[in-house]
Every structure is written in C-alpha cells, then in structure tokens.
C-alpha cells in the first residue's frame, strides 16, 4: 500500500508541505497574487471526510482546511451491529472531532451544507454562511431510495428502522429487539448491490442471533435478500449452522427474497407476486441506496445514483475542483466501506496537495479489510489490495483473501481480536 507517512509523502511531492496559491503563480482569474493558503472545504465528518481533513493538514500544514459536519458526535456504523447484539454500548462507537481541531488544526464547523455552487466555488450552510473554496472534498455518505418499494416511506423509518446510519436508528432497533417477545420474528430486508458494507446485513443477523440465543432462544431471523449471493456467504453460513442451528433463514431473491411491497402499518412484507408474506415482530428494512443527498443535489451523480470520479484522484468527472470520496463515489472494484473511504480520502488529499503545487497525481495503491463477527469470539474477514490501471481501480491478483473455511475455533477467536484491533486502529487514524 502507498506509504502515506508525512515525510515520505512530502519527499514524493517535492514541496515543503505548504500548498499556497502563490505556488501556482496566479490566482483563479489569472492575475498575480500575494501568497495565501489554499482553502479546502470538506463536507461530511464521517470515515472519508474526517480522514481527508486530517491528512490534508498533515500533508500541507499551512493549508486552510474546514470540515463541515452537522453532528457533534459521529457514531460509526462499524460496531453498530455489536450494539444490536448487546456486546457493545453506543459510547463504544462514538467519535468526537476534538483531536481534528486541537491536534491537527482542522477548523470544524457544526452545520449542514445546503447548497454548493461548483462554478462560483462556494458552499452555503444552513446558517446561511457562504464560504469560498479552492478545492472541495465531498464525503456525505449515502441516502436511501424509499421510492423503490411501495408501501413504505422515509417517515416510516421511525417505526421500521433501517439502522444503516448509526446513531438514533441503532438505538431504536436495539430497543425494539429488547421489547420483542421470545418466539418473535425479526425480519431484515437486505438491499441489492451496490450498497454500503456488503457483509453488514449478515453480521447484523449474526449479532441479533447471538442476543436472541441468550435472551429469547425461541425467536427466528428471516433475511429477505434482493440478491442471489452475498459477501463471505460460505463462512457466514458455516458459522450460523455451528452456533445458531436453524435460527437464521436466508431467502435468496429468486426464492421469495425480493420484496415487492411492504405493508408498513402491519410490519408485513409481500413478495413472489403476493404468494410469499412475512409478518414481522421487528422489521428492519434496509432500502436501496444512492449517493448522499447533497452530492446528488449538486449534480455530482449525473443521471445515476453514484458519483463518477477520475479514479486516479477522486476528482469529479462532472464538476472540476470537487473530489468525491467514500460511499458516494464510483470507485472501481473497491466496496463501499469505512476502510475504503479512509484510503480514498488519503488519495484525494495527496492529489489535491499535488495539484495545488502544479504536480501530476501519483498512481495510488489502496486496500480494504472487512471483519465480521458471527459471535463475539468468532470472526471472519476479507481483505483486498487495489491498484489504478487503465482508468479504473481494480483488484491486485494474488493479494488479500478471505478467512479459510473449516478453521479451528482458535483461528476464529484470533480474528475476533483482530476485529477489535482493526476498529481501534482505523478510528484512531480517522478521528485521533
């Protein structure tokens, strides 16, 4: 993987670390200008945005970096399934912006970006403040396509949580699971590809099963899936059979898993042209997804759901000067994950600093790792390395891999320890 340490980066960049507009020799309008620090605004303080803000300052300490994020506390989606399983608390997945401000010199503005003018290079927040930028980084995560299935609207998420953005939704789903009687049915509706965190629904089913096994062992979990196969499927199914017997039932798209309608008032799903119905005690509908609302609204997704970028730099192919990273972007073979967003942020930060210094971008090498808990002591993982080639980010053959099938309990236990280590490492890299 690319070595992003500041010393090596600055050596590669060949500058003193300060990206000033004077180094370009002229202002945007072509006139000579006195030196001023370049101003980069980052929209969204999640996995991608917080990393980008921090690494822009590390690569270029004099740069004026402002991070705009509405929430004072960010709850990681990673670990939110552990909260649902009763083996972590909300505080365990809470991240603050203190270190970004005090240790790294990022200006953090607690607000929502309402409008972006790509031609005038301004961002306007809900407080009505208009801010100019030289470069903009967007990492607004995902939005939901509640229009995909009739019978359910976004307002229903207050009773039928998606819990696909962590925080209040995680709390709500946990409360519903706690209130559910023993012998109840938990129905999860899983989206088709692509979506945030490919193994996420199946880790969720595992963690809920872990909770049910201890507190309500007669209960059942049904996963209605909008696809025919899923990430780490063999390993999940092996673990489910080993630990939970027949508590979890997975229904493939072609076998009734593709939900065609939801009777939200009665927590009922309808598929197979009306031949298959499930009545849930707790319904977890995870809708199909799209790039974050502000990215769509700015036209960064064009006519599609996700934002196309130059995969060498993550600069939008639609609006120059705007870099889209994380779940909102189209990033070749990289899955929509926190690990991916963190890596992409560093690529974009490096590309911006080089661009401001008048240098060509470097070809990035990136990675993704995803651990999933089946029980608190049984984890599985998938890892991949990616390289930029022929205009796209592709997987490097022979690098990475998945956990072996039929591994002894000691291996699964070891991976459960790595899971926690991964969480501590990545959150320290992003917000620490």
Ligand X SMILES: Cc1cc2nc3c(=O)[nH]c(=O)nc-3n(C[C@H](O)[C@H](O)[C@H](O)COP(=O)(O)OP(=O)(O)OC[C@H]3O[C@@H](n4cnc5c(N)ncnc54)[C@H](O)[C@@H]3O)c2cc1C
Report how far residue 116's alpha carbon sits from residue 137's, in angstroms, rounded to the nearest whole number.
Answer: 12
Report how far residue 77's alpha carbon sits from residue 165's, in angstroms, rounded to the nearest whole number.
Answer: 6
Which residue in the set 86, 292, 361, 364 belongs to the binding site for ligand X (CB under 6 A)? Answer: 292
Q: Is 139 in the site for ligand X (CB under 6 A)?
A: yes
Q: For strand 39-43 and strand 135-138, is the pairing parallel, antiparallel, or unpaired?
A: parallel
Q: For strand 365-375 and strand 248-251, is the pairing parallel, antiparallel, or unpaired?
A: unpaired
Q: Which stretch binds ligand X (CB under 6 A): 10-18, 54-62, 63-71, 174-182?
A: 63-71
Report how far residue 88's alpha carbon sits from residue 108's, in angstroms, rounded to the nearest whole number.
Answer: 28
Q: Is 81 in the site for ligand X (CB under 6 A)?
A: yes
Tokens of residue 244, six digits: 């939970």
Q: Is 370 in the site for ligand X (CB under 6 A)?
A: yes
Q: Is 191 in the site for ligand X (CB under 6 A)?
A: no
Burial class (CB in 10 A: 0-12, 13-18, 19+), 29: exposed
> Closest separation between CB of residue 273 and ligand X, Å?
30
> Closest separation between CB of residue 152 and ligand X, Å?
18
Q: Is 336 in the site for ligand X (CB under 6 A)?
A: yes
Cβ-contact 423, 79 below 8 angstroms: yes
> Closest separation between CB of residue 219 and ligand X, Å?
20
Q: What are the residues facing 74 on neighbouring strands?
A: 95
Name the residue whose CB lies closest to ligand X: 46
Q: Nearer to ligand X by C-beta: 111 or 249?
A: 111
What's the start-to-end Cα distance of the chain, in Å? 21
Cα distances (Å, whole numbers) of residue 302 to 193, 323, 375: 19, 15, 42
> Closest separation between CB of residue 46 and ligand X, Å?
2
Q: Which stretch binds ligand X (CB under 6 A): 32-40, 98-106, 332-340, 405-413?
A: 332-340
Cβ-contact 123, 43 below 8 angstroms: yes
Which residue in the set 20, 38, 39, 44 belongs to the binding site for ligand X (CB under 6 A)? Answer: 44
Q: Is 68 in the site for ligand X (CB under 6 A)?
A: yes
Q: Is 73 in the site for ligand X (CB under 6 A)?
A: no
Residues interacting with ligand X, by CB under 6 A?
Answer: 43-49, 68-71, 74, 77-78, 80-81, 112-113, 139-141, 164, 196-197, 200, 204, 292, 294, 326-328, 336-339, 341, 370-371
């Amino acid at each position: 993987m690319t070595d992003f340490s500041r010393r090596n980066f600055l050596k590669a960049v060949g500058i003193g670390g300060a990206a000033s507009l004077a180094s370009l020799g002229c202002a945007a309008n072509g006139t000579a200008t006195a030196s001023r620090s370049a101003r980069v605004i980052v929209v969204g303080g999640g996995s991608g945005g917080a990393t980008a803000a921090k690494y822009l300052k590390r690569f270029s300490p004099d740069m004026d970096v402002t991070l705009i994020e509405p929430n004072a506390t960010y709850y990681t989606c990673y670990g939110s399934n552990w909260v649902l399983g009763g083996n972590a608390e909300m505080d365990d997945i809470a991240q603050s912006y203190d270190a970004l401000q005090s240790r790294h010199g990022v200006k953090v503005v607690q607000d929502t970006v309402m409008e972006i003018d790509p031609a005038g290079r301004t961002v306007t927040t809900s407080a009505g403040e208009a801010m100019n930028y030289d470069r903009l980084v967007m990492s607004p995560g995902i939005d939901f396509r509640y229009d995909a299935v009739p019978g359910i609207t976004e307002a229903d998420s207050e009773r039928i949580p998606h819990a696909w953005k962590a925080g209040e939704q995680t709390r709500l789903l946990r409360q519903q699971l706690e209130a559910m009687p023993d012998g109840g049915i938990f129905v999860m509706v899983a989206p088709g590809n692509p979506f945030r965190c490919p193994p996420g629904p199946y880790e969720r089913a595992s963690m809920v099963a872990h909770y049910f096994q201890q507190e309500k062992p007669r209960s059942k979990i049904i996963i209605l899936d909008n696809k025919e196969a899923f990430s780490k499927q063999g390993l999940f199914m092996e673990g489910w059979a080993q630990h939970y017997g027949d508590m979890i039932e997975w229904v493939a798209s072609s076998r009734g898993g593709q939900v065609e309608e939801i009777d939200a008032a009665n927590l009922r799903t309808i598929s197979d042209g009306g031949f298959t119905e499930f009545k849930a005690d707790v319904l977890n509908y995870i809708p199909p997804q799209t790039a974050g609302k502000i990215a769509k609204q700015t036209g960064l997704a064009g006519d599609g759901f996700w934002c196309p970028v130059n995969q060498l730099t993550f600069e939008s192919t639609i609006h120059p000067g705007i870099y889209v990273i994380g779940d909102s972007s189209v990033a070749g073979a990289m899955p929509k994950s926190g690990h991916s967003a963190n890596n992409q942020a560093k690529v974009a930060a490096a590309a911006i600093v080089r661009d401001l210094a008048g240098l060509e971008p470097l070809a990035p090498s990136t990675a993704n790792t995803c651990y999933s808990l089946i029980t608190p002591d049984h984890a599985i993982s998938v890892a991949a390395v990616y390289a930029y080639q022929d205009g796209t980010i592709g997987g490097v053959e022979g690098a990475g891999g998945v956990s072996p099938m039929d591994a002894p309990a000691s291996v699964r236990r070891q991976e459960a320890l790595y899971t926690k280590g991964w969480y501590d490492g990545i959150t320290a890299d992003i917000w620490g």
